[in-house]
Amino acid sequence: MTAPTITAPQLALARTAAEAALAVLPTSRELVAGEPIAATTDTLTEGQAITAKFSGAATGEVVVVVGQDLADALKESPLGELDLTAAVRPALEAAARVFGPTVLDPGQLMEPGVALSAIAAKPDAVAVPLLDAGETRAVVALALSPWPADGESGGGGMAARSPGAAAIRGGLDMLHDVEMEVSAELGRTRMSVRELLSLSPGAIVELDRAAGSPADLLVNGRLIARGEVVVVDENFGIRITEIVAPGSERE
């Protein structure tokens, strides 16, 4: 097999993209970008990988592999199990933006070996290890078709994050940029199948909540607050009147 011909400008661009991703990557450790290398399947074998293709000012693919600590933190969040792809998406977008205005696809969760194997099969794929005390804790891998000539980015590149610029983040701090589904609930009821089938336009369904009672605010299906229904610019809203303490949710 012919060895990849990765140029120094490509390596430099890959490192800039990795540092841009690192600046918004939720992690409980303070990581620094290591030396870029040709992507291989065994760059990091533990954790979870998210891969996404992008197009626009540049066309390519980016893979972010995160350690198991982040995956576990998302699963055990006080707000319920959160989506790893959504948590890592800002890092994927930041890496792609180094090459100019781009559009990123939704992304896909994979095993690290599978994702790295797929991108390593592409010409001139580069991986940048993200290190903690010299040990690889995460990886950003990129493959562009083609790479910008002479290492020039398409504009809009992001500044690198210097080592020690951010304190070690843990708990909810590492989840601040994760998007979650928020819904409001006026009440509930139970109905038999016969009653459901008999519903028709104009029918009234009585809920288990008295008129004027506060509505529930739920995040990913978990009750976190209660409030009163208001109208904001012709849209319904909720004015928070009570924050529900963890463990005291209604069954």
CATH for 121? 3.40.1550.10
Judge contact between 182 and 217, C-beta under 8 A: yes
Q: Are residues 80 and 165 in the same domain?
A: yes
Give the residue-averaged pLDDT of 171-184: 66
Print the domain residue range for 130.
Answer: 8-175
Q: Are residues 220 and 103 in the same domain?
A: no
Q: Are residues 32 and 120 in the same domain?
A: yes
Judge contact between 188 and 132, C-beta under 8 A: no
In a domain, 249, yes or no: no
pLDDT at residue number 247: 61
Taking 70 as the threshold, does the pLDDT of residue 2 lie above it?
no
pLDDT at residue number 148: 82
pLDDT at residue number 157: 43
Give the residue-averaged pLDDT of 122-150: 88
In a domain, 3, yes or no: no
Q: Are residues 113 and 191 in the same domain?
A: no
Please choose, from the candidates 205, 234, 206, 238, the residue with its C-alpha nearest in 3D space to the C-alpha of residue 219. Answer: 238
Q: Are residues 54 and 141 in the same domain?
A: yes
2-16, 43-57, 106-120 — which is least confidently predicted? Answer: 2-16
Could you say which of 158, 175, 192 is where a domain stops? 175
Instruction: State pLDDT tens for residues 29-60.
Output: 788 999 999 888 887 778 889 999 999 888 99
**In which band, very low, low, confident or very high, does the pLDDT at 178 lie, cut at 50, 70 and 90?**
low
Could you say which of 150, 175, 200 is where a domain stops? 175
Give the residue-averaged pLDDT of 233-243: 88
Domain count, the chain: 2
In a domain, 2, yes or no: no
Distance CA 67, CA 46 (A): 6
**For the whole model, what pTM was predicted?**
0.61
Taking 80 as the threshold, does the pLDDT of residue 177 lie above it?
no
CATH number of the domain to which 198 belongs = 2.30.330.10
CA atoms within 13 A on the CB side of 207: 11
Give the residue-averaged pLDDT of 179-204: 86
**In which band, very low, low, confident or very high, does the pLDDT at 84 lie, cut at 50, 70 and 90?**
confident
In a domain, 1, yes or no: no
Measured CA distances, 2 to 5, 11, 124, 147, 169 (Å): 9, 18, 11, 19, 42
Q: Are residues 140 and 186 in the same domain?
A: no
Please choose, from the candidates 215, 224, 186, the residue with its C-alpha nearest in 3D space to the C-alpha of residue 78. Answer: 224
Could you say which of 159, 175, 191 is where a domain stops? 175
In a domain, 250, yes or no: no
Higher pLDDT: 23 or 83? It is: 23
